[in-house]
């Protein structure tokens, strides 16, 4: 049960947040937007204004008249003020400045479209707290953290921008989003096609829900990404959990000491932390697959190009016992310490203690119930999906219970034939592609599957090390967007 | 100001409820479903089962885990249990049994389609009270009375029926609705096309909102319906208000006595009731136009065929002073007393005292803000539309304020190009046609304009006195529905 909950919390916080979990230590995430190093990721000469819109807290009831200041970022430096389009990023579960600074495709593309750029922050994240510091302290306040409320915020904000910005009243709006933000952009188009002419939903696992995708799919995709480089790598990682278990069982404190030193842990490992250690390892594999980009990531914690390939190098031959653990530790350090500057690693570091994580934890306990399981063919520990346990755990944590089927009824599940003008892009290496739309559903619901692509690679800024596949994807995306704007 | 509020309340309660206001005295309305006279309106041999579904009170928040018993009526007597379609009526603001018994088109049509019939009650009406007798006593409970919650109820109920009824899992569902129920059926299709393949939205004024339709349109349409029979009729009615005003001003108690006796009022008219009397008259003109059916209505209070024609007969020549008032009183009695059995008329009878009215009053103060105004070319008193006054009045009554633009953002306003498979039928005589879709918007958004048609005449049971126009409309509707079910 503990392992299930650990995994659940892991998956609950991982989607999209992976960037911050990976590149910025979790407890730092909320600060990242204000870090000059992050701001510098914007292409040179590009800038935006930070604005706030007085937004309704409850769009779906009229008794609560409270409003809050929703943050949004605007750049009109490329905009044709005579009706040029608006590129509208539907903010994820995190600080919008981070997404603004790391969604280079929008910036790279806006000039040729003469588009205004807007990045809208998702309520309950970043600065957009409906009840300020109290937002997360009271279930009755967290009640307003739903995707429907977020979409209503976006629609209302766009109506406001169009009605108050001279020249924008007839501007067509294109939604962009990656990961959960991509899900939102797709859902935005299906629920508010009056507001957006189309949506680029990058790496959006809109089918990662009950009965739409096998619960094993995510872990299998991670495993495939590792096996792309080495079957031995997968085999080794798959065996490391039982190896650690047996080691601790038979070796006692000496084994704990060996593990502490091999993984360079900041705190000596305790006997009751084996599950935490193994969960921490699992987290890393998922993250590595998602950020298996073709070039070094240049965030606070740099990663090499193709980090899964790098992580698999020390695991390319069959290893046993201590050699196996040492190999896995080397792989881990690719993830956490590729520059060699980290003094020690902290297995309790991830996915705790910040509001972004808490927010997604809440969402995954209400609407975003994504079934996950694993078996012994993956780089994860076998685990079954137990909805009842999830429900209990959610009730314990947030005093709410998930509604498994609502997200499917509300956002149409696989019955998308009435939808139009959505691009679903997914990367071959990205675990979340398992819940994505991988084949075109119609002439205007276009799937783009990017060979060797990781998590919304196409939304990142152009890079000289980009693969031909992602270059081709971006060209196709621009062509389709252009069609939306012409029709 | 008082006149504005009176008019607002009038319009607020009139839509769709007109049937009950007209045919059943308001204070009886909630009982009507159980009245054998009403049940007999169902074609002979037809019957339904009354069922209840345990429904979420709040679909858009997770803190409130309350549920309630939503009533729905099911007939499977014509249903092909091997995947035959489901005809699903999206309940209006009233007792669903009434709509079930008065929507003969669904019953007339189900046999040839081998369709299951479901009539779903709208929350906060009829028996479907989320908090029982407390539902209307507390603003925090009324908070869950919105069209979005009602649509979510319908979607959830359909998923439940399909998943629990053997043979229904692949059944296609067609939404039907008239008036506000028609608005719901159109909105149901645009927001949940995964659940319904199409919608017949009869007399659905989905554009009767801010800046989509001139506020004068409704009153002008009523006036046109009267002028169809007699321009003098319009002229006479238009002058009756000032005639009464002047009469009372100059005639004092003798004038009040004359008015009381001429209108056969149950209580002697008081000097401070002139506004009430005139509002009561205005109410009647709108209602008469809506129910200007080609055959006698056979409800508790029978009406003749073409009642507007009848009402205009005593007003066909130019009348003045007492003769005018007497002519108008004769017209009124066509509406209230065509059988001559009513002993007296009660000017405070309409639109008060039952939950259906209170419910629509609340809805018109939250989402359904329909601007209405009038000038001296109509059968109404001139009145301007003052949103601020409406908002103040709503706050006073319900402790909420309307959100004028939300319904347009949420339900797409006139930007319906992404929608499909909706029939918008409207009648020439129906005042609500002024806010309806009168011209087809695409190959699959079809407008049917019924010559000499009143309020959702096409949804009523076939009648030997039906016009060719409504017969043709029904044939076209069945053909389109058939296409939806085949594709």
Check residues A351 and B211 and name the one with the higher pLDDT: B211
d(CA B155, CA B173): 11
Q: Could you report how far apart the first and last alpha carbons of chain A are, in Å? A: 53
What is the pLDDT averaged over residues B145-158? 98
When CB atoms are compared, the residue of A60, A155, A405 closest to B60 is A60
B147 touches A: beta carbon within 8 Å: no
Q: For this structure, is B455 an active site residue?
A: yes
Check residues A330 and B39 and name the one with the higher pLDDT: A330
Whether the per-residue pLDDT at B38 is higher than 60: the answer is no
Q: Does the distance separating the beta carbons of A60 and B194 come in below 8 Å?
A: no
- Crossing angle between the packed helical segments A274-290 and A321-336, to the nearest 10 degrees: 50
Sign of the CA dihedral running B244, B246, B249, B253: negative
Whether the per-residue pLDDT at B5 is higher than 50: the answer is no
Query: Which is nearest to B362 in space by CA: A60, A65, A62?
Result: A62
Whether the per-residue pLDDT at A34 is higher than 60: the answer is no
Alpha helices by DSSP H, listed for B263-320, are: 274-290, 307-312
Options B20, B128, B135, B179, the catalytic residue: B179
pLDDT reported for residue A336: 80
pLDDT reported for residue A351: 34
Instruction: List CB contacts (< 8 A) between B484 and chain A.
Output: none
Q: Does the distance separating the beta carbons of B194 and A412 come in below 8 Å?
A: yes
**Tens-digit pLDDT profile for residues B244-264:** 999 999 998 999 999 999 999
Name the one residue in this structure whose structure tokens are 């053997």: B166
d(CA B312, CA B334): 10
pLDDT reported for residue B302: 73
Q: Which of A29-43, A192-206, A362-376, B127-141 has the lowest mean pLDDT?
A: A29-43
DSSP B395: H
Instruction: List CB contacts (< 8 A) between A366 and chain B.
Output: 62
pLDDT reported for residue B387: 95
Q: What is the residue-wise DSSP string for B127-167?
A: TB-TTGGGTTT-HHHHTT-SHHHHHHHHHHHHHHHHHHSTT
Is-contact A216 A201, C-beta < 8 A? no
Confidence of residue B468 (pLDDT cuts 50, 70, 90): very high
Whether the per-residue pLDDT at B476 is higher than 90: the answer is yes
What is the pLDDT averaged over residues A152-175? 98
What is the pLDDT averaged over residues B53-62? 98
Is-contact B15 B74, C-beta < 8 A? no
Average pLDDT over all residues of chain B = 89
Q: Does the distance separating the beta carbons of A62 and B146 come in below 8 Å?
A: yes
When CB atoms are compared, the residue of B56, B140, B418 closest to A193 is B418
> Please, which residues bridge with residue A115 across strands?
none
> Please, which residues bridge with residue A70 across strands?
A53
Confidence of residue B349 (pLDDT cuts 50, 70, 90): low
pLDDT reported for residue A43: 65
Judged on CB neighbours under 10 Å (0-12, 13-18, 19+), B467 is middle
pLDDT reported for residue A350: 53
**Tens-digit pLDDT profile for residues B398-408:** 999 999 999 99
What is the pLDDT averaged over residues B14-32? 30
pLDDT reported for residue A302: 73
Tell me how many residue pairs between chain A and chain B have CB atoms under 8 A apart. Answer: 106
What lies within 8 Å, CB to CB, of A355 at 6+ separation is: A30, A124, A125, A129, A135, A136
- Mapped onto helix, strand or coil, the DSSP state of residue B89 is strand
Confidence of residue A356 (pLDDT cuts 50, 70, 90): low
pLDDT reported for residue A349: 63
Which H or E element spans position B190?
helix B180-191
pLDDT reported for residue A41: 60
pLDDT reported for residue A301: 53
Q: Which of A25-34, A99-108, A298-307, B1-10 has the lowest mean pLDDT?
A: A25-34
Confidence of residue A469 (pLDDT cuts 50, 70, 90): very high
**Tens-digit pLDDT profile for residues A319-347:** 999 999 999 999 999 888 766 777 888 88
What is the pLDDT averaged over residues A440-458? 97
What is the pLDDT averaged over residues A260-271? 95
> Please, which residues bridge with residue B80 across strands?
none
- Crossing angle between the packed helical segments A147-164 and A180-191, to the nearest 10 degrees: 70
Q: Does the distance separating the beta carbons of A62 and B143 come in below 8 Å?
A: yes
What is the pLDDT averaged over residues B260-280? 95
Whether the per-residue pLDDT at A10 is higher than 70: the answer is no
How near does any CA of chain B get to the CA of A164, in Å? 15
Confidence of residue B36 (pLDDT cuts 50, 70, 90): very low
- The alpha carbon torsion through B195, B200, B205, B206 (nearest 10 deg) reads 30
Instruction: List CB contacts (< 8 A) between B196 and chain A.
Output: none
Average pLDDT over all residues of chain A = 89
How near does any CA of chain A get to the CA of B282, in Å? 30
A159 touches B: beta carbon within 8 Å: yes
What is the pLDDT averaged over residues A454-467? 95
Q: Does the distance separating the beta carbons of A143 and B406 come in below 8 Å?
A: no
How near does any CA of chain B get to the CA of A457, in Å? 29
What lies within 8 Å, CB to CB, of A254 at 6+ separation is: none
B229 touches A: beta carbon within 8 Å: no
pLDDT reported for residue A11: 46
Whether the per-residue pLDDT at A106 is higher than 50: the answer is yes
pLDDT reported for residue A38: 41
In terms of average pLDDT, the best of A108-122, A283-297, A300-314 is A108-122
Whether the per-residue pLDDT at A353 is higher than 60: the answer is no
pLDDT reported for residue A36: 31
A63 touches B: beta carbon within 8 Å: yes
Q: Does the distance separating the beta carbons of A417 and B193 come in below 8 Å?
A: yes
Q: For this structure, is B430 an active site residue?
A: yes
What is the pLDDT averaged over residues A97-108? 93
Which H or E element spans position B259?
helix B231-262
Confidence of residue B335 (pLDDT cuts 50, 70, 90): confident
How many CA atoms lie within 13 Å of B253's alpha carbon, on the beta-carbon side? 0
Confidence of residue B348 (pLDDT cuts 50, 70, 90): confident
pLDDT reported for residue A33: 27
What is the pLDDT averaged over residues B306-314? 96
Alpha helices by DSSP H, listed for A36-179, are: 36-39, 96-101, 104-113, 139-142, 147-164
Whether the per-residue pLDDT at B182 is higher than 80: the answer is yes
pLDDT reported for residue A68: 98
**Tens-digit pLDDT profile for residues A384-440:** 999 999 999 999 999 999 999 999 999 999 999 999 999 999 999 999 999 999 999
pLDDT reported for residue B356: 60
What is the pLDDT averaged over residues B154-164? 98
d(CA A79, CA A75): 8
Name the one residue in this structure whose structure tokens are 């780089």: A379
pLDDT reported for residue B46: 80
Whether the per-residue pLDDT at B6 is higher than 60: the answer is no
Whether the per-residue pLDDT at A169 is higher than 90: the answer is yes
Tell me the percentage of chain A whose pLDDT exceeds 70. Answer: 88
pLDDT reported for residue A65: 95
> To probe the interface with B, which of A55, A63, A142 has the most B CB atoms within 10 Å?
A63
pLDDT reported for residue B316: 96
**Tens-digit pLDDT profile for residues B71-115:** 999 999 999 999 999 999 999 999 999 899 889 999 999 999 999
d(CA A102, CA A24): 13
B59 touches A: beta carbon within 8 Å: yes
Residue in chain A closest to B416 (alpha carbons) equals: A194
Check residues A337 and B465 and name the one with the higher pLDDT: B465
Check residues B317 and B98 and name the one with the higher pLDDT: B317
d(CA A305, CA A169): 44
Whether the per-residue pLDDT at B2 is higher than 90: the answer is no
How near does any CA of chain B get to the CA of A126, in Å? 21
d(CA A248, CA A245): 5
Residue B346, Ramachandran bin (φ over 0: left; ψ between -120 and 50: alpha; else beta): beta
Tell me the percentage of chain B whose pLDDT exceeds 70. Answer: 88
**Tens-digit pLDDT profile for residues B413-440:** 999 999 999 999 999 999 999 999 999 9
Q: For this structure, is B32 an active site residue?
A: no
DSSP B270: P
pLDDT reported for residue A224: 98
Whether the per-residue pLDDT at A5 is higher than 70: the answer is no
């Amino acid at each position: 049960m503990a392992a299930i909950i650990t995994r659940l919390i892991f998956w609950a916080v991982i989607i999209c947040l992976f960037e911050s979990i990976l590149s910025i230590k979790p407890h730092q995430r909320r600060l990242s937007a204000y870090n000059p190093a992050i701001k510098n990721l914007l292409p040179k000469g590009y800038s935006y204004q930070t604005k706030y819109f007085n937004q309704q807290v409850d769009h779906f009831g009229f008794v609560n008249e409270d409003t809050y200041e929703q943050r949004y970022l605007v750049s009109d430096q490329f905009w044709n003020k005579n009706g040029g389009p608006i590129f509208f990023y539907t903010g994820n579960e995190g600080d919008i400045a981070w997404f603004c600074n790391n969604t280079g495709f929008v910036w790279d593309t806006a000039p040729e479209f003469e588009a205004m750029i807007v990045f809208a922050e998702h309520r309950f994240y970043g600065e957009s707290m409906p009840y300020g510091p109290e937002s997360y302290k009271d279930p009755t306040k967290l009640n307003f953290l739903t995707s429907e409320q977020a979409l209503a915020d976006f629609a209302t904000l766009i109506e406001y921008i169009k009605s108050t910005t001279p020249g924008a009243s007839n501007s067509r709006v294109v939604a962009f989003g990656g990961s959960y933000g991509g899900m939102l952009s797709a859902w935005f188009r299906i629920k508010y096609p009056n507001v957006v002419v189309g949506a680029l939903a990058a790496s959006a696992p809109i089918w990662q829900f009950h009965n739409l995708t096998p619960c094993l799919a995510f872990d299998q995709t991670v495993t495939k990404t590792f096996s792309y480089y080495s079957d031995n790598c997968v085999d080794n990682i798959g065996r490391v959990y039982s190896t650690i278990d047996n080691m601790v069982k038979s070796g006692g404190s000496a084994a704990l000491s060996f593990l502490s030193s091999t993984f360079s842990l900041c705190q000596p490992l305790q006997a009751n932390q084996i599950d935490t250690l193994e969960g921490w390892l699992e987290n890393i594999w998922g993250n590595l697959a998602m950020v298996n980009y073709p070039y070094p990531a240049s965030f606070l914690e740099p990663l090499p190009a193709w980090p899964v390939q790098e992580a698999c190098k020390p695991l390319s031959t069959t290893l046993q016992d201590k050699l196996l653990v040492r190999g896995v530790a080397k792989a881990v350090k690719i993830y956490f310490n590729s520059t060699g500057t980290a003094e020690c690693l902290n297995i309790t570091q991830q996915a705790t203690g910040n509001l972004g994580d808490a927010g997604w934890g809440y969402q995954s306990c209400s609407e975003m119930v994504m079934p996950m399981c694993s078996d012994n063919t993956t780089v994860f520990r076998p685990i079954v999906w137990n909805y009842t346990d999830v429900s209990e755990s959610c009730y314990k944590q947030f005093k709410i219970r998930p509604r498994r089927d609502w997200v499917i009824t509300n956002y149409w599940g696989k019955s998308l034939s009435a939808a139009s003008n959505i691009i679903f892009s997914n990367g071959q290496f990205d675990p979340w592609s398992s819940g994505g739309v991988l084949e075109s559903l119609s002439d205007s619901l276009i799937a783009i599957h990017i060979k060797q692509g990781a998590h919304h690679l196409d939304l990142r800024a152009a890079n000289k090390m980009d693969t031909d596949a992602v270059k081709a994807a971006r060209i196709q995306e621009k062509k389709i967007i252009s069609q939306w704007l012409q029709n």
